[in-house]
Structure 1
Amino acid sequence: MMKKIVFLGCGSMGEAILGGMLAAGVSPQSVVVTVRRPERATELAARHGVTAMASNEEAAANVEAVEGASVVILAVKPVGVTAMCREVADALDSNAVVISVAAAVSLAQMEAALRPGQPVVRSMPNTPLKVGRGVVALSAGSSVDEHHLAAAHEVFDGSGVVLDVPEDQQNAVSAISGSGPAYAFYLAEAMAAAAEDFGLSPEVAQVLARETVAGAGIMLAEPGANAGELRRAVTSPKGTTEQAIASFDKDGLPGLIKAGTKAAAARAAQITEELSAAN
């Protein structure tokens, strides 16, 4: 069981993780959050019952917050992760596990900004964490043991599915699940546009596309569900769906999706290099 948990930064994704933790039974009295603006600190304290501090009011808020913490979650933007690590490094307990939720920031970059031997975990969460249907991939640093990794799992267990992957697979994870919700939304946009081409009103088109994609997602989330099997169950021989799938295949849709994910993964690797050069 985690003791003191600290969020350094708490934007949309950080608050989604925080909400999932609290819903899973973590006591708000064990959580400290730091943000820049006093208004945001007041908002988080009122909404979740946690202790919230504003660095614009108290310059040492981040350092004070991490003292005695067993888990520290870095929920700042990628460009600010290593600077935050350096700011709090000397105040961290040597056994505290530091978890980053920022894309493209490597374990090596974080470990170099912290004291030697500090346990570090890199995570790649996605936005459906906000509705408790997220997926998170964790990669453990060189000083992480099974207890540190278990604590990292506990952070995210209330918000979705948690997987362990080698760090060299994190860019692929980012391209599939990190960016993936946008692909589903893009599909819904395209379906709605197609519906309007048939003469349906924009309002009806939006409902049809939105509820179809959302409903299919719920079916896919059922235990043991398989995307290929579900698709084949809807695709009757010589039926309308079969014609649509054949058209998608002819136009190379699977190849386009594969190319897009490769482009996303390549960009993630490029961002890592840019952040490394900047720090």
Structure 2
Amino acid sequence: MMKKIVFLGCGSMGEAILGGMLAAGVSPTSVTVTVRRPERANELVERHGVTALASNEESGANAEAVQGASVVILGVKPVGIIDLCREISTALDPSAVVISVAAAVSLEQLEGALRPGQPVVRSMPNTPLKVGRGVVALSGGSSVEEHHLADAHAIFDGSGVVLDVPEEQQNAVSAISGSGPAYAFYLAEAMAAAGEALGLAPEIAQVLARETVAGAGMMLAEPGANATELRRAVTSPKGTTEQAIATFDRQGLPAIVKAGAESAAARAAEITAELSGE
């Protein structure tokens, strides 16, 4: 029997997950999506062939959608997750696995807003899921069994690499992979600015930086690739790259990246506390 999969909220990240899942072979007839606006619902129907409900038109759309579902993906912003869990709690099948993609919302908070024993998985996807190169970290709750995790893996497998981590590592995951794409974009910005400072035309500097970062990322994505080995292969003794890397080290770039990641992880913990009213 085909499993019913429901997306509650489907913004850009949710649609990236949905697209990867459908590309991996899941039938659109098994998928129901709820969004606020009817225009967005119609867009998703036309683009993906799924069933879509608009909560602005149907006040009970979320509870209606989850009835009989095997997998429910919570795709709303962190501030709205707990209220959404309470809204659908009694409509969920007790065996349905609920997957949250909201950053900083803990399993304890999710489980506390659902019926006791409801299987819950916390996930941390990142934006490269939109191009099939994402990475997703999953943490299972107290009632999650192996088959629930398998269902969660199946949702994300079509969009990137899926890893299982203890929940206490989720803030670190968020700091590295969740926020990480912004670090790469920031590096590309800095490289383009440096190129301009060296006399390149802005449009030339931007293309050089963009394509270099994108190309390096593709090399890193090759099976067995290692960042340290790739860097060393480009760094000839006494050459220009070696000089640049030595300057980065003297200026403390590794320590700066570490401090930034620590700040991101600390902010995630603060958000969790804020959502708990602490």
Q: Determine if the TM-score, normalized by the shorter chain, exceeds 0.5.
A: yes
SS at match of 2:158: coil
* Residue number in structure 2 paired with 1:100: 100
Residue 134 (structure 1) shift: 0.1
Structure 2 match to 1:147: 147
Code of the aligned partner of 2:192: A
SS in structure 2 opposite 1:32? Answer: strand
For 1:1-279, what aligned pairs fall within 5 Å after superposition? 3-277=3-277
1:250 and 1:180 mapped to 2: Cα distance?
23
Q: Percent identity?
A: 82
Aligned to 2:261, the other structure's residue is in SS state helix
Q: CA-to-partner distance for each residue in 1:27-82, whole Å, 9 max, x for gaps?
A: 00000000000000000010000000000000110000000000000000000111
- Mapped to 1, the partners of 2:70 and 2:186 lie a distance apart of 40
| Cα contact 1:29–1:49 (8 A) shared by 2 | yes
TM-score normalised per structure 1: 0.99
Cα distance in 2 for partners of 1:75, 1:20 equals 15
Instruction: Give 1:126's aligned amino acid.
Output: N
Give unpaired runs (5+ residues) of structure 2. none
TM-superposed deviation, 1:2? 6.1
After TM superposition, where is structure 1 displaced by more than 6 Å over at least 4 residues in a row? none
Q: Aligned partners of 1:92, 1:192: CA distance in 2, in Å?
A: 50
- What letter matches 2:267 in structure 1? R
The answer (yes or no) to whether the contact 1:45–1:51 under 8 Å persists in 2 is yes
Cα distance in 2 for residues equivalent to 1:63 and 1:117: 18
Report deviation, 1:242. Answer: 0.2
Once the two structures are superposed, residues 108-158 of structure 1 have per-residue CA deviations (whole angstroms, 9 ceiling, x without a partner) of: 000000000000000000000000000000000000000000000000000
Alpha-carbon offset, residue 199 of structure 1: 1.1
Q: Which runs of 5+ in 1 are unaligned?
A: none
- 1:2–1:70 Cα contact (<8 Å) kept: no
* Separation in structure 2 between the aligned mates of residue 219 and residue 200 of structure 1, nearest angstrom: 26
Q: Answer yes or no: is the 8 Å Cα contact 1:2–1:71 preserved in 2.
A: no
Query: CA contact under 8 A between 1:2 and 1:151: conserved in structure 2?
Result: no
The one-letter amino acid paired with 2:256 is L
Q: CA RMSD in A?
A: 0.8
1 CA distance for matches of 2:270 and 2:256? 21
Cα shift at 1:166: 0.2
- Kindly provide the amino acid, as one letter, of the partner of residue 103 in structure 2: A
Contact 1:125–1:135 under 8 Å retained in 2? yes
> Are the counterparts in 2 of residues 21 and 157 from structure 1 also a CA contact under 8 Å?
yes
Count of residue correspondences: 278
Quote the Cα distance in structure 2 between the aligned partners of 1:219 and 1:2.
38
